[in-house]
Structure 1
């Protein structure tokens, strides 16, 4: 019997000391208040810009860049920002050695689907067109995201799949939200209460969709795409006690079944957001992401000058 879903003792103590369950539906203004996040990792130059009409924060590594990674933050499609997820972007920059372009996409419910996806796609296309500014060929551009941002990253790969001028090197999906709530998934029932109040997932989906019936829409819920064939190589990072664990597993399995190169890594006993929170297990997760992304970019040959 696997113990992947047995809560890590350190995490169990952390949950006791830091009770979860804040309902976004009851406190969006509070959750969106500007927050000062201490710098967790020194990297190269960091600058706020506007790319394709979308605010972004660009992180450059201390070394010559290995490639360029477009990053969509998490936050249930309703909260989060480049400032709030500064720690994740910095760790990704450090681990991968890539330039990281963090997307400050529009949030629901004021801007429901597909606003956030449109913004992430626009920045990804901008990154492909402007990568040489950072000394990176467009063949070494990948997308990434965690939770809601993982859904956006996966959705972008589907949107760009048939565009020969927008080929992505890979995708890094960190506990991605890829289902629409219609698939029976034990992890949603077993672990949701660890980090959110009852009914929160239903409210999030309602906010993201703007009350429309988008069940089965592959761009809103990539797990329901008819086929994932032709998508770029994927790394799927999961937590053993994350309510999104099972849909992430299913997505990795579907990618593999459709002929996509995929590595899925599960970190036992970890809850949703363990990278964002900087839990001890996050270090190994970032190391694994860095190793995978560096190897991905290293094998992509830059076009001849």
Structure 2
């Protein structure tokens, strides 16, 4: 294990906070503030909070616009937190870094959380958000021909699912999917679940707690829009970056999804950060590898957007 990640685990252990799976969702949301691990927020040319319509209501989004002349490519970003916790602030620092380093507008989406809003609400909100970006591109200095989706953990799950939905429902056009240690299947039987069930930040019990709050019943877990690894056909999806962490229960299902994408003819860049724990992508303030992963993601986005522009 990376010594920095080990140090963070020891620090978190010393705080003595109860495990998430012993808390109510409300208690978990109050306690789950890891912004100190993200470091100081970078300046971005413009940051705007607004709300957008979704089926049955509206949700907040935060729009980060880099310096320069638009229209810019766009990344629609979905935060992690097991569909139960997390918010725009959780991923504020990585979103700022991605906007600056990839030279793209980042639209961070505050989809509605479970258990108040169970599956498929988060999926519907996430899909509505990418449609909104495509339809209102001109008003936020975005090029509608260059839109990517991305997210971490549950947000990686939502990114993969939105890419599937956009393919299945004829749009909007998505050029790239950035999947950071994504949840891809409602199952706990992988080798990485056995190896990393406890003691590495995200535990098996916490994932069971997240899934139980998110799904209405067991059948939902078999739906490809909850478990994209179960989708029969992954052809015709946008190129993907899949980042996994060595000490993460979700490692194997993320890598299995990358392999299935490859087998379906989708271009995939898959990287395992061997010494890392779940959540490292939004800990660039304390983890060198967190910074490296954000730089890798920004470079992959830049390349993908350039390919679309010149093709």
Scaled by the length of structure 1, the TM-score of the pair is: 0.91
Separation (CA, whole Å) in 2 of partners of 1:246 and 1:259: 20
5+ residue gaps in structure 2?
A: none
1:36-75 to 2 correspondences below 5 Å: 37=35, 39-52=40-53, 53-64=58-69, 66-75=72-81
Contact 1:23 1:197 in 2 (8 A): no
The match for 2:304 is 296
Cα distance in 2, alignment partners of residues 60 and 302 from structure 1: 22
Worse-matched range after superposition: 27-36 or 240-249: 27-36
The answer as to 2:19 corresponding to 1:22 is yes
Deviation of the 1:63 alpha carbon: 3.2
8 A Cα contact 2:181 2:244, kept in partner: yes
Give the TM-score taking structure 2 as reference length: 0.89
- For residues 191-234 of structure 1, the C-alpha deviation after alignment (integer angstroms, 9 at most, x for no partner) is 13111455222221111102342232100010110010011111
Question: What SS is found at the alignment partner of 1:15?
Answer: helix
The answer to whether the 8 A contact 2:47-2:65 is kept is yes
Change beyond 3 A, Cα 1:164–1:201: closer
Q: How does 1:153-302 map to 2 (within 5 A)?
A: 153-181=159-187, 184-193=189-198, 194-197=200-203, 199-278=205-284, 279-301=287-309
Greater mean deviation of Cα atoms: 277-286 or 142-151: 277-286
Instruction: Measure, in 1, the Cα distance between the counterparts of 2:142 and 2:113.
Output: 30
Distance in 2 (CA, whole Å) between partners of 1:36 and 1:253 is 31
Q: Secondary structure at the match of 1:214?
A: helix
Structure 1, unmatched stretches of 5+, are: 1-6
Distance 1:31 1:23 in 2: 6
CA distance in 2, matches of 1:108, 1:168: 26
Aligned counterpart in structure 2 of residue 113 of structure 1, from 102, 114, 119: 119
Structure with the largest fraction of strand = 2
Q: For residue 94 of structure 1, report the CA deviation from its aligned partner.
A: 2.0
Question: Is residue 2:93 matched to residue 1:96?
Answer: no
Shift, 1:137, TM fit: 2.0
Secondary structure of 2:269's aligned partner? strand
The residue aligned with 1:3 is none
Shift of 1:129: 1.1
Aligned position for 2:152: 146
Partner of residue 28 from structure 2, selected from 31, 52, 57: 31
- Deviations along 1:236-274, whole A, 9 cap, x unmatched? 111111211101100000000011111111112100000
The 8 Å contact of residues 139 and 302 in structure 1, kept in 2 or not, is answered as no
Aligned length: 296
Q: How far apart in 2 are the matches of 1:110 and 1:25?
A: 18
